[in-house]
Structure 1
């Protein structure tokens, strides 16, 4: 039974991340639609709103809830809760801290979603591109902790994460420059 729970947990983590990766893209598209003529803008934003609602309520939220339920179940059935505060469980404690912040990120996306559904577009497309990469950082950190567990050096893990953030920020800047040249 444990293996099935773990497999389902991983499946819903994947579908949750799919929503977390695609939702900010839809925010970006809806924001950029504001630069179109009124008629075209209204059609595009209407279509993006439909896509956002379906993605958010049909995939992302259910996956977030099932990830949490199944993850807790896996932790209790695998008796991982017994080592959580031991030296051998430090990786799990760090992972759970990242997971808590991932849920905070999820709620920030929910806030942006709510704003955009009301026609309030607070963030620029570039700000949303940066915010889109936050899910990548969480994914890398969580997967690395789960796969390499206690063999990962906290210092090297932190430096690797900082390096990833630097690469992502540079990539966003390069993309922005290339878009500006094309415009």
Structure 2
């Protein structure tokens, strides 16, 4: 392997981590933003303004540069090792990366809607949306590490099981919160 590859791969991983940090945190801010809409004034307006500011800063200052640096470093690695593009695991990985990019831009759409005080999604819906990035990350990491079709099938089965467990946990937490509210706690 060429000498700069190890540095390039290290930078790529750092950029991916930075991008995913934003992809994990932005939907969490959307949840808080949506829940702040139910607060009484003046707290409501103060919180909404703060969430709008934080969401914009996170997206523009961290997520966009991290996404472009991730894609640039990945493209550079594919330039160094073009034979990767002939391997089926890379095709699948690129499909999942396209999913991450789609997730990124759908988050931007939600950000713009919330900025205009359009609350289309409930807090529980946003909690489920928040888990999509986790599932995509699992898929990509398993593909990159395993690179084997049979192992990938086990990985996909694990991802599906993980997704079901996450959704079940979110529903259980929601039910517990509702019970606490009903009991006046």
In the superposition, the TM-score normalised over structure 2's length comes to 0.92
Equivalent positions of 1:166-181 (< 5 A) are 166-181=164-179
Equivalent-residue separation in structure 2 for 1:126 and 1:26 (angstroms): 13
> SS state of the match for residue 120, structure 1?
coil
Q: 2:106 corresponds to which residue?
A: 108
Tell me how far 1:151 sits from its aligned partner.
6.1
Equivalent-residue separation in structure 2 for 1:119 and 1:65 (angstroms): 29
Q: 1:42 corresponds to which residue?
A: 45
Output one character per residue of 1:69-104: Cα deviation in whole Å (capped at 9) or x when no partner: 111111211x1x32423xxx2111111110011101
Checking the alignment, whether the CA contact within 8 Å between 2:135 and 2:163 is kept in structure 1 is: yes
Checking the alignment, whether the CA contact within 8 Å between 1:30 and 1:44 is kept in structure 2 is: yes
Output one character per residue of 1:8-42: Cα deviation in whole Å (capped at 9) or x when no partner: 11100000000000000000001001111021110
Q: 1:66 corresponds to which residue?
A: 69
Count of residues in correspondence between the two structures: 178
Q: Which moved more, 1:16-25 or 1:50-59?
A: 50-59
Equivalent-residue separation in structure 1 for 2:151 and 2:11 (angstroms): 29
Ranges in structure 2 where 5+ consecutive residues have no aligned partner: none
Runs of 4+ in structure 1 displaced over 4 angstroms? none
Ranges in structure 1 where 5+ consecutive residues have no aligned partner: none
Q: Which moved more, 1:48-57 or 1:147-156?
A: 147-156
2:22 matches 1:24: no
Q: 2:94 corresponds to which residue?
A: 96
Q: 1:82 corresponds to which residue?
A: 83
Q: 1:182 corresponds to which residue?
A: 180
